[in-house]
Amino acid sequence: MQIRKVGVIGAGQMGTGIAQVCAQGGFEVGLCDVSKERIEAGLATINGNLARRVKSGKATEAERDATLSRIRAVPSYEGFGDYDLVIESAVEDEQIKRKIFQQLCPHLNAHALLGTNTSSISITRLAASTDRPEKFMGIHFMNPVPVMELVELIRGIATEEQTFTAVKEFALGLGKTIAVSEDFPAFIVNRILLPMINEAIYTLYEGVGGVEAIDTAMKLGARHPMGPLELADFIGLDTCLAIMQVLYEGLADSKYRPCPLLVKYVEAGWLGRKTQRGFYDYRGATPVPTR
């Protein structure tokens, strides 16, 4: 099947990024969230992102206007009745995702494909909560979506080859490079990345080095563009913890045990950039280490 209309559920950082790149790629896009206010905030974010692209010379005003014209607010799942593909991009919580699919499926046409932007949860298990596991796939975009070139594609045990082919062509049509992963906890990128971040937090927890020392060491010693603790703040410490819990529970290996300090930060509500405090405090002009 050919994908022309793409729905995105979740108007947060990832969802707005997905909606933006789909519209830039020429697809008609519908953006949905739990409230009108959140959808409007998401559309404002996209507008701001596109304005920065124009200012930096990466796009023209005409291209910006054309992109915005392809995105519309969809206030409820009923509005996705004629869409070819709907991508869920809600929080990394399996129960919330399953509930979304159960409420969404009755409103979709028989041929519609379903995707999830989960960064760690079993595709097979999520697919089983829908009425179309053979038309379900993991479509994991990287953050920030408009900048990062990679999309991980993950088939569940029931995913049909036609579904995979259609989604692969869709991702390539966005100008992305794809990496195909088997359906194992956290797939490829986060299976490698998050244990490194978790180990950096253990290094901090055990007093081996401070926040700045750890980030500087990895930036200058391993040529990483961003230190692991700075990166954790960018991802969101709640998301980091959720992925580590999926790895720990799914693979039953103690090397994936979430660091107690990560748990403590999340319990405190210090989730990184989105709450203005994580391993750095972002409330001033310059980020300051919190430990």
Show which residues are catalytic.
119, 140, 152, 190
Rounded to whole angstroms, the Cα distance separating 129 from 26 reads 31
What letter represents residue 108's amino acid?
L
CA distance 128 to 105: 12
The count of other CB atoms within 10 Å of the CB of residue 145 is 23
Q: Are 103 and 128 in contact (CB under 8 A)?
A: no
* Dihedral, CA of residue 191, residue 197, residue 227 and residue 94, to nearest 10: 70
d(CA 291, CA 216): 15
